[in-house]
Amino acid sequence: MDIPVASGPLAPTTPVAPGAASPISERSQARRETLRVLFRRPAFIIGCLVVLGWVLTAILGERITPYDPFNDFSLGHQPPSSEHLFGTDRLGRDILSRVMVGSRDVLIVAPLAALLGVGAGTFLGLIMGFYRGIVDDILSRLVEAFLALPVILVALLTLVVLGSSPAVVVAVVGILFTPIVARTVRSAVLSERQLDYVTAARLRGESGLFILSREIFPNVLGPTVVELTVRFGYAIFTVATLSFLGVGIQPPSPDWGLAVSEEYTNMISGIWWPTLFPALAIASTVVAVNLIADSLQSVLTE
């Protein structure tokens, strides 16, 4: 890369005159530097703009949609026209209006699932990587077994057993993501714990808990933040797929995955617009989130 890359949120960037700055301001300066590098990447900016756009349309909703997305029924399956830019669905609702509010559920469920998975996974990964020994052995085997589980199929099974609700979707997807995150954080901790600052803390007589939470954790924050955005992307992927399979977000939500599920059988008769536009909306969102994740990865962890 021709762009100067900061090597981590805590890496010293510009030389500071001796005595001119406390460690705190150095840290915030490093953070500013990281942000500056990030905002120089077109991929990051485009990703942020797209996600922000969907968040805005979800929040503003009926105030900016051309029609009422829920209760404005006209003629069903009208092709795109100047009146209905994206056409109408089988009940005659305006598809543009529904696509604009279609991110509401998935943009709540997916981030929560990602947070749950990354929170639990980071916790487990820190413990596994730091304490090693029998705990690590047992948890590693469990992680291995979880990784063999096909995420979509297990989610399908669990949602059939428990019945589908947004809370269950968050829990299932979050728990299925936990081992993947734990493995990533564990390997980051393994390479940190050999470094001199950990030995120094040990020699100072710090407790294991202190070293783990105050010394190692801040230094694996970079990969953790990257993992959070990556998981957010996968969570949208997974939740959208589950909604398409009929066990995720339930009707009458205007959710994109659900919309594809309700209308995809009409594609064969040439009625493609109720399916294509929500599908493109999903594609734009997941690609945007992954562009953000990719930029964060190369700026924060290299």
- Assess contact for 232 and 173: CB atoms under 8 A: no
Number of residues that bind other proteins (CB under 8 A): 49
Q: Which of residues 55-94 bind other proteins (CB under 8 A)?
A: none
3-state secondary structure of 293: helix
Rounded to whole angstroms, the Cα distance separating 257 from 282 reads 8
Rounded to whole angstroms, the Cα distance separating 278 from 299 reads 32
- From the list 60-68, 119-127, 201-209, 269-277, the region that binds other proteins by CB under 8 A is 269-277
Looking at the Cβ atoms of 100 and 159, the one nearer to other proteins is 159
Rule CB under 8 A: say whether 245 interacts with other proteins: yes
Among 141, 167, 207, 210, binds other proteins (CB under 8 A): 141
Rule CB under 8 A: say whether 37 interacts with other proteins: no
DSSP line for 110-179: HHHHHHHHHHHHHHHHHHHHHH-HHHHHHHHHHHHHHHTS-HHHHHHHHHHHH---HHHHHHHHHHHHHH
- Assess contact for 96 and 281: CB atoms under 8 A: no
In this structure, the number of other CB atoms found within 10 A of the CB of residue 84 comes to 22
**DSSP count for the chain of H helices, then E strands:** 13, 0
Among 79, 150, 218, 251, binds other proteins (CB under 8 A): 150
Looking at the Cβ atoms of 67 and 244, the one nearer to other proteins is 244
Among 17, 24, 148, 203, binds other proteins (CB under 8 A): 148
CA 243 to chain centre: 17
Looking at the Cβ atoms of 130 and 244, the one nearer to other proteins is 244
Rule CB under 8 A: say whether 157 interacts with other proteins: yes
DSSP code at position 19: T
Q: Which of residues 282-301 bind other proteins (CB under 8 A)?
A: 282-283, 286-287, 289-291, 294
Site string for other proteins, 158-177 (x = CB under 8 A): x-xxx---------------
Cis peptide before 252 (omega within 30 of 0): yes
- From the list 13-21, 56-64, 213-221, 240-248, the region that binds other proteins by CB under 8 A is 240-248
Applying CB under 8 A, the residues found at the interface with other proteins are 1-2, 43, 141-142, 144-154, 156-158, 160-162, 233, 237, 240-241, 244-247, 257, 260, 264, 267-268, 270, 272, 275-276, 279-280, 282-283, 286-287, 289-291, 294
